[in-house]
Structure 1
Amino acid sequence: METPDKQALKESFRTNGYVFLPGFLSPEEVRELDEKVTNFIRSTAQTLPVNHIFYEDKNDPTTLKQLIDMQRYDPYFEVMLHNSKFKQLAEFLLEDAVIPKTLEYFNKPPKIGKPTPPHQDNYYFMLKPAEAVTMWLALEDVDAENGCVRYVTGSHLHGVRPHGRTQTLGFSQGITDFWNADDQANAVAFPAKPGDLLIHHSMTIHWAEANRSETRTRKAIGFIYWAESAQEDTEAKAAYQQKLKAELSV
C-alpha cells in the first residue's frame, strides 16, 4: 500500500484532516448499494429501536433522516463495515488496526432537511488518543443547494473546541464559538457525485447546510472506525452522558 499516491493521500489526511476520493465506488457498486439501502428501508427500518431511526417529522415516514447501526440488522451491511475496502482504507490512514463501530444512513429531505451543526466527532467519541475516522459516501449528487459536507482545513490539529446543546435531532452538540477568522479562512466545501468518498479525522471540524432544494434528497452512507490504540475516556463519557441527561430533562 506504500505507493507514492497512497503516501500522498496519507500525508494529506494528516495535514488537512480529511481526504476526498472521487469515484471510490463504481456506478455498478453504487446501484447495488442503493438497492440494498432502499430494500432495508422498506423491509427492516420500521423494526429498528427508536434510538436507531430518526425522522425530520416522526409522523411522516417520507422524512426519514438517519438510520444507525445498519450492520446489526442486515449481513450485507455487516460485511461492508467489517470486511471491505472501507475498513482497509481506515487502517491505512490511521496506521493501526481498527475497530469498526457503525454503518449509518443519512438523508436531508427536500425543503425540510435541517443543517448539521459544526462539530468534532471526538467530542462524542472521547478517545485518547483521538485516532478515529468517519467516512461519508454519497449515494446521489450533492452540492451547496442540498447540503454538501464542509470542513475547516487543519482544524484537527488544534484541540477540541467548546460544544453546546443544539436543536438538531441526531446531533445534540455543536461548536459554540464557530466561524471565527480561522474558520472562515480555512473553510472548504465538497460537492460530490454518487460513489465519491470523504474521510475525516475525528478532530476535524465539519458541518453541512440545510437542504434548500424543492425536490432533491441528499442520501449518503457513513462509516466510523476507531484505531485499536485509542481508548475511550470512560469518566469523561459518563460525565457527558449525565450532562446530556440533565439538559434533556429541562
Structure 2
Amino acid sequence: MSNQINTDWLSKHSDRYLHEFNLNGYVSIPGFFNPEEIAEIKENKKRFIQDVVPTMPESEVYYEDASDKSTLKQLQNMWQHDAFFGNMMGEGSKLTTLSEICLNEKTVPKNMQYFNKHAGGGQATPPHQDGYFFHLVPNNAITIWYALEDVEPEQGCVNYVQGSHKYGMRAHAASGVLGFSQSIQDFGLPFDRENAIAFPCKAGHLIAHHSLTIHWADGNTSAEKSRQAMGAIYYGSSAREDAKAKEAYQARLNAQLAAAGKI
C-alpha cells in the first residue's frame, strides 16, 4: 500500500497527534486510507468472509441471528487468520505506527475487527469504555476505527465524550447488546452531555481512542445504507493483562451468546 499518509508522514506529525490524543482521548485523521487502499481492504474483506469465516471459531463470528448468515455483525481476530490483515497490523505498518505515537510507547497488536450495522436494523452500540473489557494494569491501550464506506449520523456514527479518558473507569453493567456486552450504568451525566462529539466519516477516515475514552454509536436507521467499518486494538507494552479475569469474563460472555443464538 502507498498513500500520502504513510509512516513517514505520521512520524513527521507525531507531536500533533500525541498532543491531541492526550488532550481529547482520541485523534481524527480524514483520508488515512485513500480510495485505492479502501477498495483493496474491502476486496480482501469480501474474500475473508467467503473463504476464512467458515473456518473460524464460532466465538469469533457474531451474527444478529446465527441461523441467518446474511446478518453478519462482527468478526474478531482477523489478523490472526489471514496474511493480508496480519500485515496491516505488522511491525512498521501505518496502524502500528499510529498506535505507538498515540500511546507514546511500543505497542502489542491484540485484535482486528470488522463491524457492520445492517440497513434498517443495525443495533446501537451502548456507551462504554473499551478498557473495561481489556483487564489491563495500567489501562493503556488504543482502539483504532476506520470507515469502509461513508457514515452519516443516521447510519450510527461513533460519538465520543471528549476528555473522558482522564477520569478513570466508570461502573459498567450488562447491556444485552451483541459484541458490546457492557454499558456505563450512569451515562448521561452533565459532563457526558456537555462534552459529546459525533464523528460522521467518509470512507477511509480513521478515528482512534484511548481505552478509557467513553464512546457509543446509535443504531442504523437508514433503510438503504449499511455501516461497515474495521477496527484494530493495541495494548501499550507497559500494560499487563489479568489473564484469569479476562478468561472468566470471556467464558461467561460466550455462554450468554450461545444461549441467545448469537454465535
Give the structure-1-normalised TM-score.
0.93
SS at match of 1:177: coil
State which of 193, 196, 216 in structure 2 corresponds to 1:187: 196
Please give the residue correspondences for 1:56-71 in structure 2 after superposition, counting only pairs within 5 Å: 56-71=64-79
Name the % identity.
47
User: Take 1:199 and 1:244, find their aligned partners in 2: how far apart are those partners?
Assistant: 25
Letter in 1 for 2:53: A
Change (3 A) 1:242 1:104: closer
Instruction: Give yes or no for contact 1:108–1:211 (8 Å, CA) kept in 2.
Output: yes
Letter in 1 for 2:230: I
Tell me the CA shift for residue 227 of structure 1: 0.7
Q: Residue in 1 aligned with 2:42?
A: 34
Instruction: Give yes or no for contact 2:59–2:254 (8 Å, CA) kept in 1.
Output: no
Q: Residue in 2 aligned with 1:203?
A: 212
Tell me the CA shift for residue 39 of structure 1: 1.1
**Structure 2 segments unaligned to the other structure (5+ residues):** 1-9
User: Take 1:246 and 1:51, find their aligned partners in 2: how far apart are those partners?
Assistant: 10
Letter in 2 for 1:76: F
State which of 157, 169, 180 in structure 1 corresponds to 2:178: 169
Tell me the CA shift for residue 46 of structure 1: 2.0
User: Take 2:255 and 2:179, find their aligned partners in 1: how far apart are those partners?
Assistant: 17
- What RMSD over aligned residues (CA atoms) do the two structures have, in Å? 1.9
User: Take 1:50 and 1:234, find their aligned partners in 2: how far apart are those partners?
Assistant: 21
Instruction: Give yes or no for contact 1:113–1:210 (8 Å, CA) kept in 2.
Output: yes
Change (3 A) 1:2 1:217: closer
User: Take 2:187 and 2:241, find their aligned partners in 1: how far apart are those partners?
Assistant: 26
Letter in 2 for 1:211: N
User: Take 2:186 and 2:86, find their aligned partners in 1: how far apart are those partners?
Assistant: 38
Tell me, yes or no, if structure 1 residue 89 matches structure 2 residue 101: no
User: Take 2:58 and 2:24, find their aligned partners in 1: how far apart are those partners?
Assistant: 36
Please give the residue correspondences for 1:49-128 in structure 2 after superposition, counting only pairs within 5 Å: 49-83=57-91, 84-128=93-137
User: Take 2:88 and 2:248, find their aligned partners in 1: how far apart are those partners?
Assistant: 33
Aligned length: 248
Change (3 A) 1:234 1:39: closer
Change (3 A) 1:235 1:35: closer
Instruction: Give yes or no for contact 1:56–1:112 (8 Å, CA) kept in 2.
Output: no
After superposition, the C-alpha distances for 1:151-207 in whole angstroms (9 at most, x for unaligned) are 000000001000000111111111010011110000000000111100000000011
Change (3 A) 1:198 1:62: same
State which of 52, 57, 61 in structure 2 corresponds to 1:44: 52
Give the structure-2-normalised TM-score.
0.89
State which of 9, 12, 21 in structure 2 corresponds to 1:13: 21
Q: Residue in 1 aligned with 2:7?
A: none
Q: Residue in 1 aligned with 2:155?
A: 146
**Structure 1 segments unaligned to the other structure (5+ residues):** none
User: Take 2:127 and 2:104, find their aligned partners in 1: how far apart are those partners?
Assistant: 27
Letter in 1 for 2:74: Q
User: Take 2:248 and 2:114, find their aligned partners in 1: how far apart are those partners?
Assistant: 28
Tell me the CA shift for residue 6 of structure 1: 2.9
Letter in 2 for 1:47: T
State which of 140, 160, 168 in structure 2 corresponds to 1:159: 168
Tell me the CA shift for residue 7 of structure 1: 1.2
Instruction: Give yes or no for contact 1:166–1:173 (8 Å, CA) kept in 2.
Output: yes
User: Take 1:41 and 1:100, find their aligned partners in 2: how far apart are those partners?
Assistant: 21
Tell me the CA shift for residue 246 of structure 1: 9.3
Tell me, yes or no, if structure 1 residue 219 matches structure 2 residue 234: no
